[in-house]
Amino acid sequence: MSTPAFPTSEGDDGTHQAGLGPDGSHDGDAGTGHDRRAYRRHQVALAARDTVGVGMGYLPLGAAFGVLLSASGLQWWWAPVFSVLIYAGSMEFLAIGLVTGGVGLAQVAATTFFVNFRHVFYGLSFPLRKVRSGIGRLYGVHALTDEAYALLATRPQQGLTGTRVLATQILCHLYWLTGSTVGALLGARLGLDAEGLGFTLTALFVVLTIDAYRAAPDLPTLLMALACAGLALAVAPGGMLVLALTAFVVVLVARLLLRRRDGAAPAGDLGHHVGGTDA
């Protein structure tokens, strides 16, 4: 029996695998059926390891969302409905107020566009091309969250496979779905107080920022991000997120062009730094 082609050392991140093409996207096509299954199981295991930190944030954050939803007067089952169909943490929190406030569809659409506008930039460097099936790609687009982007877009692309990309997104989705459903059920049964729970979203973003900086320390980029955020908050508090991200991307593009002109920037520089701003 041939040996499955996947790494065994703890330090191996899944790169340079046997049976992978130059872009690492063949997902273990070479070898026997047993080899392929074993290789894909290993990729799922890597995704499970990668998503532990996000899961520890998603479970309490999802539970907070569920409690808020129940406290607003909605039935508990709206939590899994929102989590499956919307699946965008900040937008789900906002959706509670939009639904209970009887807001019109036009305002809902506009709010959704501005809140999730940053995903336009995420798509530029998210490794969706690693996923080969049409259904898988559609789900990958739907399940593109800040945290999934932070986990996948900043990884070395050489050995990243479609199985690992989808497994990462599915596991993140399951963490959120579980947390929100449990929170909604507990909120409905116990009548839990929702005061202060909205801050958990901010806390998660702070932790992701710290983790991203530790993984790739870059003080100038961090300072530029803070400057763009501060300027946007001062100029347009209501549209701070969109303005800050737009300004930051403009600054990064200008920086990238200057570095390339001087021959000092790698091709993935922009995607790397945008990934670092996920929090």
Residue 191 phi, psi dihedral angles, 5° rounding:
60, 45
Task: Name, of 91-100, 122-131, 167-176, the range with top average pLDDT.
Answer: 167-176
229 lies in some domain: yes
* Domain stop point among 174, 190, 215: 215
Looking at residues 99-105, what average pLDDT do you find?
79
pLDDT digits (tens, 9 = 90+) for 193-250: 767 766 766 676 687 678 778 877 888 888 998 999 899 899 988 767 678 878 888 8
29 vs 255, which has greater pLDDT?
255
Question: How far, in Å, are 35, 148, 214, 249 from residue 242 at the CA level?
Answer: 46, 20, 25, 11
Residues 61 and 179 in one domain: yes
Q: How many domains does the chain have?
A: 2
Q: Which residue has the higher pLDDT, 100 or 12?
A: 100
Is there a contact between 25 and 161 (Cβ–Cβ < 8 Å)? Answer: yes
Residue 6 lies in a domain: no
> CA 208, CA 47: separation in Å to the nearest integer?
17
204/241 same-domain check:
no
Same domain? For 203 and 271 the reply is: no
Give 244 or 257, the one with higher predicted confidence. 257
131 or 103: which leads in pLDDT: 131
Q: What is the DSSP string of the chain?
A: -PPP-S--STT--S-S-TT--TTS-S-S-SS-HHHHHHHHHHHHHHHHHHTHHHHHHHHHHHHHHHHHHHHTT--TTHHHHHHHHT--HHHHHHHHHHHHTT--HHHHHHHHHHHTTTHHHHHHH--GGG--SHHHHHHHHHT--HHHHHHHTTS-STT--HHHHHHHHHHHHHHHHHHHHHHHHHHHHH----TTTTHHHHHHHHHHHHHHHHHS--HHHHHHHHHHHHHHHHH-GGGHHHHHHHHHHHHHHHHHHHHHHTT---TTHHHHHHHHT--
Q: Is residue 1 in some structural domain? A: no
Q: What is the mean pLDDT of residues 18-38?
A: 58
Asked if residue 182 and residue 57 are part of one domain, the reply reads yes
Tell me what the mean pLDDT of segment 168-172 comes to: 95
Tell me, yes or no, whether 268 lies in a domain: yes
pLDDT given at position 19: 46
Q: How far apart are alpha carbons 15 and 155 in whole angstroms?
A: 10
Residues 229 and 155 in one domain: no
The residue with greater pLDDT, 157 or 70, is 70
Looking at the structure, tell me whether residues 253 and 233 fall in a common domain: yes
Residue 113 and residue 43 share a domain: yes
Does pLDDT of 16 surpass 50?
A: no
Joined tokens for residue 271: 């995607």
The type of residue at 143 is A
Higher pLDDT, 245 or 72: 72
At 6 the pLDDT is 45
Measure the N-to-C terminal CA separation of the chain; round to a whole number of Å.
46
pLDDT in the model for residue 203: 73
Q: Is residue 267 situated within a structural domain? A: yes
Question: Where does the pLDDT of residue 277 fall: very low under 50, low under 70, confident under 90, or very high at 90 and above?
Answer: very low
Whether 228 and 168 map to the same domain: the answer is no
- Domain identity same for 137 and 27: yes
Cα–Cα distance, 40 to 157 (Å, whole number): 17
pLDDT per position as a tens digit, 119-162:
887 888 888 889 998 999 999 999 999 889 988 887 887 878 98
Tell me the pLDDT of the chain averaged across its residues.
79
- What is the extent of the structural domain holding 178? 11-215
